[in-house]
Chains A and B, each alone.
Chain A
Amino acid sequence: MRRVLALVGVRSPTEARVFQGIAALAVVVAGVYWFVSYEPAGTLLLSGFAVASGLIGLLLASAGSDGQASATGARTRDPERPLLDERGRIPSPTLAPFAVGVGAAVALLSLVFGPAPLLVGVLPFAWGAADWLRRASAELDAQEPRARAMTESAGRRDTTVAR
């Protein structure tokens, strides 16, 4: 029941309610627009806006997030708790985003100048993407045992409170 109420916005967190409200308004505006104009392009754009907002609202509501879920999976419902432990979350300096960005931009120039820029751009892009994935995987691997420990510790604390 709580889940259904959350999905329709009654018990949703603020984030979800914002999107659900926008979606509801967009549906109304798209409907009014269609009946005053019978113009398909604008109606489609407004309907797309409504559908996208609604989907995000439903996703947020079904996740049941209060916006405080940490990257490690622990939740902080207690507003007075200290800030989440962000150990391992912040990445080290890396050239990967620079290489991916510049590589992608150079590669896209092939749409204007033919295949040569594609050959030049793909190398930094591939190196950057590989380095990015490698580092992200290493960070996730390092984080997992810690996340598990935090979740277990949070579970023990909840049980104590329930008693």
Chain B
Amino acid sequence: MTTGAITVRPVPPAGSALVWLTTTDHKRIGIMYAVAAFAFFMVGGVLALLMRAELAQPGLQVMSVESYDQSFTMHGTIMMLLFGTPMVAAFANYLVPLQVGAADMVFPRLNALSFWLFLSGGIIVLSGYLTQSGPADVGWTGYAPLNEPTFSSSTGTDLWIVGLALTGIASIMGAVNFVATIFTRRAPGMSMFRMPMFTWTILVTSLLILFAFPAITAALAMLLLDRRFGASFFVPTEGGDPILWQHLFWFFGHPEVYILALPFFGILSEVIPVFSRKPLFGYRAMVLATILIGFLSMSVWAHHMFTTGVISLPFFSITSFLIAVPTGIKIFNWIATMIGGRLTFPTAMLFATGFIYLFTLGGITGVIVASAPLDFHLQDTYFVVAHMHNVLVGGSLMGMFAGLYFWFPKMTGRRLGERLGKTHFWLWTIGFVATFIPQYELGADGMPRRYVDYSPDLGWGTLNLVSTMGSLLLGLGFLAFLVNVGLTLRRAPDQPADPWGGNSLEWWTTSPPPEHDFESLPPIRSTRPVYDARIAAEQARAGPVTGES
């Protein structure tokens, strides 16, 4: 810091497990979130491959009916809540204090507690595999009355409830920390409208978590009371209301989709300007669009409940259509940022442009299912599966990989290999298209989701086989990424503070940053303080400007 007054924390010896168990450093906690999330991702990914193997042809070849139910439950739960949400926390932990110019989060110990609660919750969810009856089998949406003991008596479902409640509490604590850090620890000069877009998206995401997660945490507590203590919140035969579960679940569940999307919009807004050598087009419009998306995501939850017959179809259709407007603003602004820029395409930028294509496709199919008459036909078919994966795999995961390739040099001092990175990108993109585009056709043709088998007479075999082959490509793409990370980490750190010519404050400090983040800060007079400092240094090197003679 310019004051030079940071207390240097006595850290246990590097490499000791104690460093990680005792850390309150936001950067280490961010890395722990990422490692834990990817460990869960691999479990969820293997489950996905097993399910795709089962569906490659009609008949039961790989799994039993029960294990298929458990697999799609755990796959959805893991990918949404034990991988996607913690990856948001990983990026936010590592980057938000750096981007606002702070030495750490405002509550470092609470930050560490959030991580340990999340990890404990995740392990409890997975520990269902150790019980005799296996893990939860109620779907990641856990609809009532299927979630009641009459239909799912397994201990795994109880562990699923306790584990998810813990991860929910961890997310709420994390969100409080992010909001407080952004509001109170910004460096002088870093006004709200000079904050990087990624930090803005984390602010809005944190607010969504604060408003949405209490609903699901309360619903899980009510469900546990139903299952273990004789309550009847969701038991229709005892005066309970199963639709109440859907309201509470989707009041969390739909914002959750944006919790998994907005931060990656933020990552794109950081990556694209750097590799276009231009400022972000329409910064204020992007901020407004982020806030509007966040707000509208809180008022569309029941578009998942069109077929229940107890909600207002026009209201939820219209609010769902409206989300396309701020989302469109973002997509047009990213394209406008690239137009006229000096574009380069390292792996991070490839993933960013891939995101724009695939996410837009997911958004368009979202408008289709937001239309109630069409949704009545497509509800609970593979069309919805394809749409959701289009948004989350084609969108969020592409954005996540863009961010990992972009900030890996900052986090480790090492740059991921470009050749393996591009192999990863093409395998992932082709794999994505092959896996999920056939599922749109299958869904439109009526193939229901969550069924372990289908009749050979329906003619779905070929498209399912293509989808399974595509999922193998996705697996190979991820393998290329893992190999890339492994090989890169074996090299000595060699990256400078700013290997890409970045704009925001994290590129000012060393790669990786010191314990207290910054030794000094540049003047912050725009949204691009590091760019401003670079230009000022270049002008100073060029010497004083002489006037006309």
Contact = CB atoms under 8 A, between A and B. Distances in A.
Contact of A26 (B7, B9, B113, B298): B298
Interface in A30-51: 32-33, 36-37, 39, 41-42, 45-46, 49
Given A33-B312, A67-B186, A97-B109, A14 B191 contact: yes
Contact of A94 (B3, B109, B207, B224): B109
Contact of A68 (B116, B188, B251): B188
Interface string B523-540: 110000000000000000
Contacts of B21: 95, 98
A149 to B, nearest CB: 13
A37 B311 contact: yes
Interface string B178-199: 0000111011110111000000
Contacts of A89: 103-104
A141 interface: no
B193 A14 contact: yes
A122 B183 CA distance: 35
A67 B116 contact: no
A4 B376 CA distance: 50
**Secondary structure call for the B interface:** helix
B112 A97 contact: yes
Contacts of B12: 93
A8 interface: no
Contact of B113 (A14, A88, A101): A101
Contacts of A119: none
Contacts of A101: 112-113, 115-117, 119-120
Given A42-B302, A98-B21, A105-B121, A90 B116 contact: no
A158 interface: no
B295 A22 contact: yes
Contacts of A136: 109
Contacts of B319: 29
Contacts of A109: 124, 159, 162
Interface in A64-86: 65, 67-71, 76, 78-86
Contacts of B124: 105, 109
B166 A22 contact: no
Nearest to B165: A108
6 contacts: A14-B191, A36-B312, A76-B188, A82-B3, A94-B109, A100-B116
A15 B106 CA distance: 16
Nearest to A17: B192
A90 B186 contact: no
A154 interface: no
Nearest to B108: A91
B11 A18 contact: no
A80 B188 CA distance: 6
Contacts of A71: 106, 184
A45 B251 contact: yes
A78 B189 CA distance: 8
B187 to A, nearest CB: 5
A29 B247 CA distance: 16
A90 B9 contact: yes
Given A22-B291, A97-B24, A104-B166, 16 more contacts: A29-B299, A33-B315, A37-B315, A67-B186, A67-B192, A68-B188, A71-B184, A79-B189, A79-B191, A79-B524, A83-B188, A85-B3, A97-B110, A101-B113, A105-B117, A109-B124
A93 B22 contact: yes
B247 A42 contact: yes
B369 interface: no
Interface string B151-166: 0000100110010011
